[in-house]
Structure 1
Amino acid sequence: MTAPLMSVTWTDHLTGRQGFLVVDRLVRGVSSGGLRMRAGCTLDEVAGLARGMTMKEALHYNPEGRYVPLGGAKGGIDCDPRDPGAYELLVRYLRAMKPYVESFWTTGEDLGLTQDLVDRAVAETGLVSSVQAVYPLLDDETAARRRLTDAFAIEVDGIGLDELVGGCGVAESALAALDRAGVPYTGTRVTVQGLGTMGGATARFLARAGLTVVAVADIKGTIANPAGLDVEALLAARDGYGTVDRAALRPGDRELPGDAWLSAEAELLVPAAVSYAIDTTDQERITARWIVEAANMPVLPEAEELLTARGVTVLPDVVVNSATNAWWWWTLFGDIGPDAEEAFAHTRRSMRALTEQMLVRAEADGTTPRAAAHAIAADRLPVIAERFGWYR
């Protein structure tokens, strides 16, 4: 694939902190990719995420659908989101990036930021929306914006639909892999690192499918129970950063060190927090049969090679966690309406089909699921470019 189309490094004039924007590719003059905030965020990290967004968009290309995939992009800010000055820094970053958001970068929440926070900062900068660059591509902008607003207002059992669709997609990818391997849901154990938006929703959907969540990790440590955790109680006890109030734990729940999630006895391991969470040393502790990448880039390439060599299958982020982004566009372009059941049904159907296609391709090519996903995306990108163009 080609080098990124554009890379921007911004230095805050008040704090000296840096922010980044990488546009990997444009389709019809527009790109898509969230904005993350974390201490230590780098330009290389953002570039890798932007390339991943290009592939996620291509993987969801459906010639019969209303949603036309966009190019890939990503934003990042090097700051702890808990820092007292984080919000003001976010506003200054968005003011600097305002011309890009207005013209060709659609964005939203990612690691460290919620959509509510992004929306508040976007309004403060005078922008119409974090996705306004896509509005000229819509057939009926007013109806499309109303659909998305209505969809964001929906809650299901106390959690917003926008927070749930990504986890629904992660869970469906995992279930598709289990089905292909002939593994029953009952008795299959799950460990989840991170109980924020993606990790929390994934835990809910896997538990409701009949799997047993035996361990979850947050910034305070790992909570484990071999008999199974009460996922709904833990979700209800989270703060805005996905940290669980330990007062909600039951007598059988144990508090373990923060890295204990790596070695928990489980068939599915779901890293759903930070990038680069599993390195070559960490992978030695993993006994799971599948790693399901709910986070972006959680497994280092060298670690994935070692995991693959000893029979652990890594289901890659470019497929597994792509439903959040796709749901925005399915809703905005009108493939689905602002309805939870319709959103979940469309997400499950699309994610299962994409996961199965990836696993079939991997088996046929004798390669990994990640290599298969990249091959599928590489096949589709020229078709998208030929049909829609980069800039028009």
Structure 2
Amino acid sequence: MVGAGVLSLPYAMAELGWGPGVVILILSWVITLYTLWQMVEMHEMVPGKRFDRYHELGQHAFGEKLGLWIVVPQQLIVEVGLGIVYMVTGGKSLKKFHDTVSPNAPNIRLTYFIMIFGSCHFILSFLPNLNSISGVSLAAAVMSLSYSTIAWTASVHKGVQNDVSYAYIASTSTGKVFGFFSALGDVAFAYAGHNVVLEIQATIPSTPEKPSKKPMWRGVIVAYIVVAICYFPVALVGYYVFGNSVKDNILISLDKPRWLIAMANMFVVIHVIGSYQIYAMPVFDMMETVLVKKLHFTPCFRLRFFSRTTYVAFTMFAAMSFPFFGGLLGFFGGFAFAPTTYFLPCVMWLAIYKPRKFSLSWFANWICIILGIMLMVVAPIGALRQIILDAKTYQFYS
């Protein structure tokens, strides 16, 4: 659950301001916990059948063809978008580690660090399934908790800056509005677990006496407690210490104590190695299913080799071309994460269970749907403007 998006939360706070920022952080936590509960409940709502993939649940709710067209493109955008962002994050964290450990060493391009980070995935991508990466996933979880704690404790150690300002980053009204929109996408990006929750629940044994939803829901509660412990201190302390001068990755703003910041950046690298694989697995599954069932390729190692290395190479190339951490987070957070995380589970719930009009469930779902659609519309607009502004001063492959 705790992804690299946590590192951008202080920057999001700087674009939202204290009041709206705190409200949006808490509201997102509550809404996404509610929609995650819905997905856990819907996993086995048909006796004797389990919906092990997001698109299978979509097909049950909307029909065989429409369900695929509604869910699969959104899921793919999320998972490919995460792959690109994690490539950028891994490369930037490796560069920060190198620059912190060897401040007098010759400057090495970010492009090369993204290539170094991406190279390990050419090997890890051949792990067969989600169960086989449980060790990598556990390491990623420990790392995310560690670097989140380092981010806010190092900020406390640094202390509030003398020239700190809590005014909006942008000076113009237009800039403030678009910055606000983009920050909404940053917050949405931080809540990313919904896209693989059914695949994870599918790995839990289930019987009528002991359905999988009970241990899964306990896991979700623990995950969301950890999310709160990580997200809220990083967002609030990071913004309190740096104000509107904070970078789009809080660890880039910190430089002392040097050994601790270097360690935190290496933790980020280890974490996003695991996270990349978790979100790449469903893409590999989709690609290979299409190649075998639709295009009649023979399922073999050669097929896996070409399909998986091509995907890793694509995400690495995209990351090298557009390494804009903040802008990419806001864009994918609004465009792809808002539907799959904030309101698609609510639409499915309404379609399947048909709660009574004006009941508490009906109201709760419609509020989530309206807020989610607004987020999906405005966040990519603000983020796209940010990417365009960043691209104006950026030299490709530098």
* Interval containing the TM-score (normalised by the shorter chain): under 0.3
Q: TM-score, normalised by structure 1?
A: 0.26
Q: TM-score, normalised by structure 2?
A: 0.25
Whose strand fraction is larger, Structure 1's or Structure 2's?
Answer: 1
Query: Whose radius of gyration is greater, 1 or 2?
Result: 2
